[in-house]
Structure 1
Amino acid sequence: MDNQSQIFQKFRCLKCERRLNKPLELRCNHFICRDCLETVLRNHRTDAQCPACSRPLGDYQIENYTYLSPIHYISRLLSTFTDVNECHTCKEFTTVKPCSECSKDQCHSCSAKHEETHLQIEEQPNENLELSNEELEILEPIKSYLSKKEFEDFIQTARNHVDRAILKQDKTIVYIPRNGSTVSVEKTPIWSDPEIYDWSKHERFSESDIINSKPERVRQLLRLDFNPRPYQIRMARPGLAGKNSIVCLQTGSGKTFIAAIVAKFLHIRSLQNVITPSSSSTSRFKAVFLVPIKALVAQQCAAFRQAFIDQPDSILKPIDNQVGERFKNLYQQFDIFFFTVQKFANFLEGKHADLTKFDLVIIDECHHCYDNHPINSMMRQYHRLKLSGYTVPQIIALTASVGTNKKNAFDHLVHVCANLDCLEICAIGKGVEEDELRNSTNTPLSDTILSVPKEISDPIVKALKDDVMKAIASRLGYDISMMDNQKLETFLAVEHDNACKKNDRDAIIGCDYLKKFHRFLIYYDDLPLVECIQWLIEGLKESTAGNPTQFDKFCRIKSDEFLKFVTIQISNSIEVKAKLKKLVEMIIYLHTGNCRGLVLVRTKFHAVSLETFLNKHSDLKKRQIFAGHLTGQGSAEELSLPGNQQSKVLDEFRKGTKQLLVATDVAQEGLDVAECSYVIRYEFVSNEIGTVQSRGRARASQSKCFLITEALSLNYQRETDNRLKEEDMKQAITEWREKGIQEFRTLVQKEQTDLLKNLSTNGPQPTALGAAQPNKETAKTIHCRFCDTFLCRGSSLRLQGTTIVCLDPAFEKLVNPPKSAGEKVVCPNRTCHRELGAVILLSRNAPGYALQISSLKFFIGNEMLPRLFKKWSQYQGYMQPL
């Protein structure tokens, strides 16, 4: 290499191999473009290395790298040799000049040859420019920016390209260069299908070849787009051997990639005819990946694309809004499917999917596999099939924390393993493995409880409790003066249900008002007054009857008096609560550069209200910190987000359009955003699993976690207990190791024996919605819960997927509901007028009436008192499927 070339190489980026652009210096004294460094940090957030010497970068905050000073020798070289860059054609790093046609840099030897490529489009006269009205409408915006000659040239050039694309089966094209000679040029195929990789010619290998190979070799054998970490290969060992296993690793350690390694291995082996898939209708390997929420379907499918780099679009299929009837066709077209657990359970229930036709089931967040969770319901079906001699799929379960379920942590671990049919646990050992994991992942530096002093008195709280709630309660004979929030909530729920059963109209009305006021107090304890009072006004409107009773009028008068008092207080500018001040203070303190922040809250209303409050805050506006909110699925009236909206919000958060996300527990599990550098739980404490999982959402280097709560509050105590239970969970893993593999298997098998005995004794459980056939649990009549008005017979209920629909002509005549989809259906009693459900459109746009069970009461058999249910899954009456 001559001296000039050596000088040129000094200011060539080691990553993109082009001229340095906004160069930064690494600790190893190598130089890289700023954008290239940002890409490296984003794509390799735990093991980023210098592209030249492979030295770990260490610092993952792009803002901590400084630009070179003007007097630095690299800066001076760049300012001196302004015409040096990579040639677009030969890729040599030398002196170049931009092409006059396309502005691409070309060296002296490539320049003439490159100019000839621009002559390949035939210089035909601008004729046949007649366009249809539709084409003219599409092109009108372009026409306004071009002259007449430029517009004609544009049309002709576009037509030439289209004509050649249509005639791409020709081997050559002919054009006339400026010198007049005819030249034939071999044409590159346009829009050709990607080459299909021939797995029959791929190297044959076994699970031992994977386990005993280095990461680079595993990447080559499995054709991965990433180098697996050594511990990931070890954790995949039972899965590669075809054994059911639970992978128990901290968040951010790459559990999804472990499952992907196993799935890819089994997929390749089936293509090479080394193993025979268990599915009887196809010779291809079939798998399903189950996630807890819809927003994670696309995320986990995207992760699997890094393992399935050959034709991923024909192998991987996220199941989002697809109807069950279509799945049989999708099953034949694709190999690995990504479902929410609930949707897959619905498909199994509706006979659209068959568990025996899958070779592998991957269960994310498997710690939910107990009691009546959909995962456990699916596993009960798995166990029944296994008992009956059917071939069942292999299970790989993923979790960061198995939980305790208010029991001994080790006993719960045994119970979950028995439910999942997993005798193998894959967990990191002490010493070398622990160090390897620590060096490969980002763990929050701290998880701090920030206690805020409780406010001693508030005139709004005092006015509502003393002047309104006590007055209504005394009319009903209730003494609520000594009840705390938890006792009052329980008391009102019980009294409301009793009032509904006895059809005590005044008690129903009074309890409804008291429940709304109580809910307002809970919201106001954490949130801005303006948002809370708006919620209360809307809630009281819903309770307003067309023909109110005397007691209803009394409650309304007391409510109006309170609302007037609040209006006066707002006009006097109420001070922002200390908790809210602390939240804003922490966001400003923690939010730097291009980072992301996550605020976890208890309810959907908390999420929506805080988003509004934070986006209006002047200090956050100045710093251009914009918030979005994420809640679970459901109706818009319940402040829920449909699946497509969830995906949009998460996409904005990942891209940085919204740097702050206020979310309910829907974001507590599984959400993976590399730039998330702080997590604040705002008066939100769930169980010990939630404590661990929320910490795992902080994925960036040097990240931090906080809990903002009142000093000595119930949440403060819960969090303290959760941290003790977290230690119990760690001790459970230690106890598993101490007992040894064989003894632990014996314990799991004993637990399974009891499980299977219970399944065989009780037989098939009732379906999730509706019994399999008419039974004594079917309601004779169904009434409005609030006023006892008869609505319909139990036999008129129909099952549309997971939605309960009333198709009784008598109900339609009685209620006289609207016909437009989404409109509310209300009780026909004018003194009640409460919402019963909504209109939905069935086949051929026929209206159906989706009823909400919280507005109904059921008279079953000869029982004198009605039954009340919180969820439709609790009602076991027969409902004929539509």
Structure 2
Amino acid sequence: MSSQIYQTKQYSGLHRPGSSQITRQLIVLCATFNCLTITTVMKKENEIELEQCVSRTSEDEIICINKEKTFDTLRLSIENELKNLILHLFLNKDTNSLRVFPEKDFDMNGYEQNLEILKQSEQKNQHFSSVILLNYILAIYRHLKALTDLTPELVLSNLKDYLEMVYKSREHPIEIDTLIYEKCQNLLKKKLTEIEESGQILSNPKLDKVVELLKKHAEQSNNRALVLVERTFYAQKICEFLQNHSELKPCWLVGQSGIDSRKFNKKEDPKLNGFRTGVYNVMISTDVVQVGLDMPECSLVLRYDFVPDSIGTVQARVRARTISCTYYLITTKDSQNYSKELDNRQCEQDLKQVLETWKRIPSDQFKEQVIAKQACLITEWNESLIKALTIETTITKNTELIGDVLCRACGYLLGKLSRVRQYKQSYFVNDHDFYNRIEEKLSSEPQEHSKISVIGKVLCLNKNCRAKLGRIQVLKDLPKMSPIYPLKCESIKIKQIEKESGKEIIILKKKWIKMPFTIPFLEISCTQNNDDVFYDACDVLSSD
């Protein structure tokens, strides 16, 4: 396997903001944080002293992997078969009876987002069969794109297992569900059998490079490495792949998006503690570690063809904190991430030049510019706040919570909108009838957090659907109220009925706080002088 290393001096030449624009942005930043003074290091000896206190990477490179003909031939063959499967599912009247189609062609940028928008539209229209179809197609498409990053066997087996898990979770799948599932499974089993019978062990050349770098890094027993990936199942599958190498002790950790995601306590998470103490010497993670955690033991960062933005480039690099730490981006020259990384690095160089210019701005002149910008910002903020308060007051006065809470996937009734309550960051239907409309699936190993225990998940009771709606929580500070069943906003939809006109409005949001109405806080009952007194939860409970 061969690869090429590109130093940071190469750039993509894409459009970037100019020096004056960056300077204006810095003035806005200082105005926002009320910073009226520039503090700069001018003396050479002070610059040297500062450099000694700052962790810098000893190596900072982009490694471009060359293509391998055998691997690419197999990858393209599988990609074409999965593309044909998607096309067949859309064109076949038995699997797409409502004739829904995305606006974009398969190979256009934004195709996945277009599928998501189409699915949301079908959820709003309560077309359950189309939602099932689009869920299958989204899963196939995401795995198809993963063929450039993982091995064919890993991708196909994961897709097969995922579809099987989802399908078998439904006790009584509808006919179209069974038809699509069988078509997918037949193709996946066929391709996996062909790979097995060929006797070829085809790895992804990018993965081979990762293994090579990690093994070399693991030669020193105390070294730790971080591999950053784009998707949750990448983290899981790359971890499984690395477990085949005895020198490596991998674990994986993901953030709060994706089906395998979970919230975690930075101090208590066992995987983080294991990585810090040396139980694991490799951690594969999504951007949760890149953004939110300090990893002082990490001495190698590998970004696996994953470049979100210029801030992400810097954040990933500074995860490596030890002396002589190294940072690599593993990619291919035809990848969009290659161009994005070059552009991000050019932005860094531009910013350094702007900062040098910034040093020479007279302090009085800079202060005047910041004060003038502050006045403009305060005026804008006041106008925006008044407008928001006016809208919120109008909505609160004119909106009565009449309507239903429904499963977003199938439209199954979960409860009345008037019974939805908020407790801290959780939103749930506070009604005994709700418990008869959901299925509880308890976990064998509850997740313990500082103030709650997550003991299971909530499923839609519709046997054709069985979508995950939320989770079951025990409140450690209020055990008598427990358990509660917080609903994930992305898993439900609201059918609101306007009081005067009787018109039905279907509302789909990603976050509860984006709902166009105010959800009441849960009232906490307490006993005082033998009389029941109710307090608003937001008045008596401290927030998480």
TM-score range, shorter chain: 0.7 to 0.9
Superposition map of 1:257-276 within 5 A = none
Distance 1:688 1:710 in 2: 19
Alignment RMSD: 3.3
Partner of 2:214 in structure 1? 587
The answer on 1:598 being equivalent to 2:226 is yes
TM-score normalised by structure 2 residue count: 0.77
Distance 2:510 2:297 in 1: 40
Q: Which of 469, 473, 477 is equivalent to 2:90?
A: 473
Partner of 1:642 in structure 2? 264
Distance 2:345 2:460 in 1: 48
Distance 2:157 2:481 in 1: 36
Partner of 2:495 in structure 1? 859
Partner of 2:31 in structure 1? 418
Q: Which of 245, 262, 282 is equivalent to 1:660?
A: 282
Query: Alpha-carbon deviation of 1:719?
Result: 0.4
Query: Alpha-carbon deviation of 1:673?
Result: 4.7
Distance 2:289 2:440 in 1: 37
- Could you list the per-position Cα deviations for residues 93-132 of structure 1 after superposition, in whole angstroms to 9, with x for gaps in the alignment? xxxxxxxxxxxxxxxxxxxxxxxxxxxxxxxxxxxxxxxx
Greater relative CO, 1 or 2 (CA 8 Å, sep 6+)? 2
Query: Alpha-carbon deviation of 1:743?
Result: 2.2
The answer on 1:436 being equivalent to 2:59 is no
What is the identity percentage for the equivalent residue pairs of Structure 1 and Structure 2?
28
Query: Alpha-carbon deviation of 1:629?
Result: 2.6
Query: Alpha-carbon deviation of 1:444?
Result: 1.6
CA contact (8 A) 2:442 2:457 kept: no
Superposition map of 1:349-364 within 5 A = none
Number of aligned positions between the proteins: 471
Query: Alpha-carbon deviation of 1:534?
Result: 4.7
Query: Alpha-carbon deviation of 1:657?
Result: 2.8
Distance 2:519 2:55 in 1: 51
Change (3 A) 1:434 1:861: farther
- Could you list the per-position Cα deviations for residues 210-241 of structure 1 after superposition, in whole angstroms to 9, with x for gaps in the alignment? xxxxxxxxxxxxxxxxxxxxxxxxxxxxxxxx
The answer on 1:730 being equivalent to 2:352 is yes
CA contact (8 A) 2:160 2:185 kept: no
CA contact (8 A) 2:28 2:370 kept: yes
Partner of 2:466 in structure 1? 833
Distance 1:792 1:605 in 2: 33
Superposition map of 1:507-526 within 5 A = 507-526=130-149
Partner of 2:403 in structure 1? 780
Change (3 A) 1:795 1:750: farther
SS at the partner of 1:686?
Answer: coil
Query: Alpha-carbon deviation of 1:577?
Result: 0.7
TM-score normalised by structure 1 residue count: 0.49
SS at the partner of 1:676?
Answer: coil
Q: Which amino acid aligns with 1:589?
A: K
Change (3 A) 1:602 1:740: farther
Change (3 A) 1:654 1:789: closer
Structure 1: 5+ residue runs without aligned partners? Answer: 1-402
Distance 1:452 1:579 in 2: 6
CA contact (8 A) 1:598 1:661 kept: yes
The answer on 1:492 being equivalent to 2:115 is yes
Partner of 2:188 in structure 1? 563
Partner of 2:322 in structure 1? 700
Distance 1:672 1:867 in 2: 39
Distance 1:705 1:656 in 2: 20
CA contact (8 A) 1:595 1:677 kept: yes
Partner of 1:880 in structure 2? 520
Change (3 A) 1:877 1:865: closer
Change (3 A) 1:742 1:837: same
Partner of 1:553 in structure 2? 178
Q: Which amino acid aligns with 1:615?
A: Q
Partner of 1:450 in structure 2? 63
Partner of 2:298 in structure 1? 676
Change (3 A) 1:474 1:814: same
Query: Alpha-carbon deviation of 1:846?
Result: 3.8
Superposition map of 1:125-204 within 5 A = none
Partner of 1:460 in structure 2? 78
The answer on 1:542 being equivalent to 2:135 is no
Distance 2:206 2:304 in 1: 8
Query: Alpha-carbon deviation of 1:694?
Result: 1.8
More off after superposition, 603-612 vs 705-714: 603-612
Distance 1:549 1:556 in 2: 11
Distance 1:588 1:451 in 2: 19
SS at the partner of 1:724?
Answer: helix
Q: Which amino acid aligns with 1:877?
A: F
Change (3 A) 1:784 1:766: farther
Give runs of ≥4 in structure 1 deviating > 6 Å: 403-407, 764-767, 818-821
Distance 2:191 2:442 in 1: 39
SS at the partner of 2:202?
Answer: coil
CA contact (8 A) 1:676 1:699 kept: yes
Distance 1:416 1:548 in 2: 54
Distance 2:130 2:371 in 1: 53
Q: Which amino acid aligns with 2:126?
A: N
Structure 2: 5+ residue runs without aligned partners? Answer: 1-15, 444-453, 523-544
More off after superposition, 798-807 vs 547-556: 547-556
The answer on 1:744 being equivalent to 2:377 is no
**Higher strand proportion (structure 1 or 2):** 2
Distance 1:561 1:481 in 2: 27
Superposition map of 1:233-272 within 5 A = none
- Could you list the per-position Cα deviations for residues 192-211 of structure 1 after superposition, in whole angstroms to 9, with x for gaps in the alignment? xxxxxxxxxxxxxxxxxxxx
CA contact (8 A) 1:630 1:641 kept: no
- Could you list the per-position Cα deviations for residues 628-658 of structure 1 after superposition, in whole angstroms to 9, with x for gaps in the alignment? 33333589x5243621676433333333332
Structure 1 or 2, whichever has the larger Rg, is 1
CA contact (8 A) 1:423 1:745 kept: yes
Change (3 A) 1:530 1:807: farther
Q: Which amino acid aligns with 2:80?
A: K
SS at the partner of 1:595?
Answer: coil
Distance 1:814 1:625 in 2: 47
Distance 2:150 2:293 in 1: 25
Partner of 2:525 in structure 1? none
Change (3 A) 1:814 1:589: closer
Partner of 1:103 in structure 2? none
Change (3 A) 1:817 1:691: closer
Distance 1:858 1:809 in 2: 19
SS at the partner of 1:654?
Answer: helix
CA contact (8 A) 1:611 1:629 kept: yes
Distance 2:481 2:157 in 1: 36
Partner of 2:416 in structure 1? 793
Query: Alpha-carbon deviation of 1:538?
Result: 4.5
More off after superposition, 555-564 vs 608-617: 608-617
Query: Alpha-carbon deviation of 1:775?
Result: 5.4
Distance 1:818 1:631 in 2: 22
The answer on 1:869 being equivalent to 2:509 is yes
SS at the partner of 2:56?
Answer: coil
- Could you list the per-position Cα deviations for residues 527-551 of structure 1 after superposition, in whole angstroms to 9, with x for gaps in the alignment? 3445444542443232554333332
Distance 1:781 1:552 in 2: 26
Distance 2:455 2:18 in 1: 39
Q: Which amino acid aligns with 1:612?
A: E
CA contact (8 A) 1:824 1:838 kept: yes
SS at the partner of 2:308?
Answer: coil
